[in-house]
Amino acid sequence: MGVSGSGKSTVGECLAELSGAPFVEGDHLHPAENVEKMARGFPLTDEDRMPWLDRIGIVIKEALGIGRGAVISCSSLKRAYRDRLRHAADGRLAFVFLDGPREVLLSRMGARHDHFMPVSLLDSQLQTLELPVGEPDVVSISIDNSLERIVYLARDGLENIVLLGEKHAG
Ligand SMILES: Nc1ncnc2c1ncn2[C@@H]1O[C@H](COP(=O)(O)OP(=O)(O)O)[C@@H](O)[C@H]1O
Ligand SMILES: O=C(O)[C@H](O)[C@@H](O)[C@H](O)[C@H](O)COP(=O)(O)O
C-alpha cells in the first residue's frame, strides 16, 4: 500500500519473486473508466474505488483458497478500504506501507514515462491517504532506502507477523 509512485509494483514484484507467490498488479484490476478518469487528471472517489477493491478482495480470497497466498499492489489509501480487504481475507492479510516525502514521490512519478497516472494527482493521493498507524499487521517502511533494503525490511516484517500469528494460534 501507499500513494502513487511509492514503489508498490517494484517492491511487490521483488517480494513475490523471493517468496514464490504470484504478484498481482492492482492497477490492472481497475475498471477501464477508473484508469481513464485518472489519466484525464481526476482523482477517484470512494464510489469509483469500491468495485475495484471488491475485485481485489476476490483475488485475495482465490489466492488464499489455493493455499499459496499472493503479493498484491493496491494503494489502499483509507482505513475503510484496508478494512474491506481485511474482511475479504478473513483477517489473513498483512500490509507493507511504503511511506515517503512528497519530493521523492514526485521525482519517482516524474521519471516514469509508461504510466497512465499523472504527477498532478499526487497531492490528492497524499490528501486521501490515512496513515495505517495503530492498525494490526502493517509493516511501515521509508521509501528513502534502496530497493534491496526495502525488500529486506518488508520480508523481515512480514515473517515476524506470520510468526506472531502462529504463536497466538498456539
Ligand atoms: N527504492 C527505490 N529507489 C529508487 N527508485 C525506486 C524505488 N522504488 C521504486 N522506484 C522507482 O520509482 C518509480 C515508481 O515505482 P512504482 O513501483 O511504479 O510505484 P507504484 O506502483 O507505487 O506507483 C519506478 O520508476 C521505480 O522503478
Ligand atoms: O486509489 C486510487 O486512487 C488509485 O488506485 C491510485 O491510488 C493508484 O495509485 C493508481 O492506480 C495509480 O497507479 P500507481 O499507484 O501504480 O501509480
The Å distance, Cα 11 to ligand 1 centre, comes to 8
**pLDDT above 90: residue 144:** yes
* Average pLDDT taken over every residue of the chain: 97
29 lines ligand 2 (CB under 6 A): no
**Helix/strand/coil for 25:** strand
Which residue in 143, 137, 63 sits closest to 108, CA to CA?
143
Joined grid coordinates for residue 12? 511487490
In tens, the pLDDT along 14-54 reads: 999 999 999 999 999 999 999 999 999 999 999 999 999 99
Is pLDDT above 90 for 166? no
**Averaged pLDDT, 116-120:** 97
Indicate whether this model's pTM tops 0.90.
yes
pLDDT at 66 over 90: yes
Ligand 1 center–CA 150 separation, angstroms: 11
Q: Taking residues 3-8, report their average pLDDT.
A: 98
Q: Write down the ipTM of this complex.
A: 0.96
pLDDT at position 55, please? 98
The confidence score (pLDDT) of residue 170 equals 74
* Whether CATH 3.40.30.10 fits 8-168: no
CB 17 within 8 A of CB 124: no
Whole-number Å distance, alpha carbon 167 to ligand 1 midpoint, is 34
Instruction: Enumerate the domain spans of the chain.
Output: 8-168
pLDDT average, residue stretch 96-118:
97
Helix (H, G, I), strand (E, B) or coil at 7: coil
- Nearest-atom number in ligand 2 for the CA of 76 is 1
For residues 145 and 149, give the distance between their C-alpha atoms in angstroms, rounded to a whole number. 6
From 4, 6, 108, 142, the mutation candidate for ligand 1 (largest count of ligand atoms within 8 A of CB) is 108
